[in-house]
Chains A and B, each alone.
Chain A
Amino acid sequence: MRQLLAATHKDLLLSWRSRAQASAVMVFGATTLLLFSFAVGPNAAALRQNAGGFLWVALLLSSTLSLAESYRAEIEQRALEGLVLLPASPRSLFYGKAIANWLQLLLVGIGLVPVMVVLYDPGTENLLALVGVLAMGTAALSAPGTLYAAMASQARAQQVLLPLLLFPLVVPVLLAAVKASSLLLLGDPMEQAGSWVMLLAAFNGIFWPLCGLLFGQVVEE
């Protein structure tokens, strides 16, 4: 537990010190949201209808940047090798980094919500519940994302490799998160949003332990 806290602290400190990078990711996400309006055209109804989907695609695209970034410092200074040599379990290293990535992504997600509201004008009654969906969805992105970023950051063509591996995997996350968010934004007469959140919970329940278990294989040789 102390190892986990130390690792989380280290990763959060690392991203705090490179906060210019983190805010650039936020701006990237906002720019993406702006671009979707041009893809659809000035059709207010269509934009409102797809607001949840646009938010999640923007977040997914931003996630590849922040996930890759979380390993850059480790790889550049060969710090990852040092960390693996410490008498700490690789699992706590993984969970530290995954939690830090999760919090960062969640922050980006929360930052994008006002941009989405201004640009697409969806309903704003359930914004607090939307933050809950954001928390579940970004958690589901960050567990496999942290595992894959560990591989991609040490391979050639890393910029293209991470999305290539991550995007097909997180199809159910995107699907469930978009459904839940759209229901919250547009009204949910059948109260279906809960079952989509359950799907996100199931994904988290499977991939957080599985990725933690496999991370040791990825960093140790």
Chain B
Amino acid sequence: MAGNSNEKRPLLAYGSIALAVVLFAIGSYIGLFVAPPEHFMGEVQRIMYVHVPTAWVALVTLLWAFVSALGFLFLRKWKWDSRMEASIEVGVLLSFLLCMQGSIWAKPTWGVWWDWDPRLTTTAVMLFAFIGILALRRFVEDPVRRATWSAVATIVAFADVPIVYFSVKWWNSLHQVQSTPQTVDSPMITPLRINAFAMLFLMMGLVGLRTRLAARRLENELAPPLPERETETRAIAAGGEA
């Protein structure tokens, strides 16, 4: 794809990622070396400084996907489709990381890799639901259909989240009670907050960059086929590229 030279560079996204790196360095330093080890779990508990921010930000990202889906269905503007694509992808990445970190933390503390606890199970269900939506996007070529259908699927998946949570809660409940600033000791809050902001900025940077990429691809798809481009496509097709 030919780069558009008069388009401005995504300085905001780069800046956000750079800020995230700095904050992660500070937060992780405090979390790993300054904060005291937890009384019962010991050093293992330090994974909390990435686990909890990942959980918060994953939720924010998928919430943004939901907002974008509504935005596309009601406003019918393509930029909402690009935002939805970007936030679902980053949300899936964060949810996957969340499940991995959770398993790493669960093995030494609970003695198992996995537990059928409401939050854990809901995260896994959400992860699979949104992977399904990414697959849907991949398997539909028509941009209008792809955007509308994935927006519909996102709204349906989001409506399902509270039901999944409560049904699993009734079904089986080992996760420690959610921590609030009142239940967490203050030397532990500082790195947690710093890392939460780091994760937030990282997410915003990634979503920003991915949104631009999605918008460019869409621009290419929606553009009327130019004669040169057609021959170009044919040349690629002849080269064996599907």
The residues of A that contact B171 with a CB separation of less than 8 Å are: 175, 179
The residues of B that contact A154 with a CB separation of less than 8 Å are: 140, 145
Distance between A153 CB and nearest chain B CB, rounded to angstroms: 12
Chain A interface main SS type: helix
Please, how many angstroms separate the alpha-carbon atoms of A29 and B43 in the complex? Answer: 50
Please, how many angstroms separate the alpha-carbon atoms of A157 and B160 in the complex? Answer: 24
Contact between B168 and A168, CB atoms less than 8 A apart: no
The residues of B that contact A203 with a CB separation of less than 8 Å are: 163
1/0 contact trace for A114-131 toward B, CB 8 Å?
000000000000000000
Which of A151, A156, A199, A207 is close to B153, meaning CB atoms less than 8 Å apart? Answer: A151
Complex interface: stretch among A1-9, A68-76, A104-112, A159-167: A159-167
In the complex, which residue of chain A has the Cβ closest to the Cβ of B153? A165
Given A147-B156, A175-B168: A161 touches B135 (CB 8 Å cut-off): yes
The residues of B that contact A218 with a CB separation of less than 8 Å are: 148-149, 152
Number of B residues with CB within 8 Å of any CB on chain A: 33
The residues of A that contact B170 with a CB separation of less than 8 Å are: 195, 199
Please, how many angstroms separate the alpha-carbon atoms of A207 and B156 in the complex? Answer: 8
Number of A residues with CB within 8 Å of any CB on chain B: 34
Given A172-B163, A179-B171: A217 touches B152 (CB 8 Å cut-off): yes
Contact between A206 and B159, CB atoms less than 8 A apart: yes
Chain B interface main SS type: helix
Which residues 140-194 in B have Cβ within 8 Å of A in the complex?
140-141, 144-145, 148-149, 151-153, 155-157, 159-160, 163-164, 166-168, 170-171
Please, how many angstroms separate the alpha-carbon atoms of A160 and B131 in the complex? Answer: 13
The residues of A that contact B139 with a CB separation of less than 8 Å are: 155-158, 161
Contact between A144 and B73, CB atoms less than 8 A apart: no
A-B residue pairs in contact (CB < 8 Å), sample of 10? A144-B156, A151-B153, A168-B132, A171-B160, A172-B163, A172-B164, A199-B166, A199-B167, A206-B159, A207-B156
Could you list which residues of chain B lie within 8 angstroms of chain A, going by C-beta atoms? 73, 121, 125-126, 128-129, 131-133, 135-136, 139-141, 144-145, 148-149, 151-153, 155-157, 159-160, 163-164, 166-168, 170-171
Instruction: Kindly list 8 other residue pairs between chains A and B, CB separation below 8 angstroms, not including A179-B171, A195-B170, A214-B152.
Output: A147-B152, A165-B136, A168-B126, A168-B132, A169-B157, A175-B168, A176-B167, A218-B148
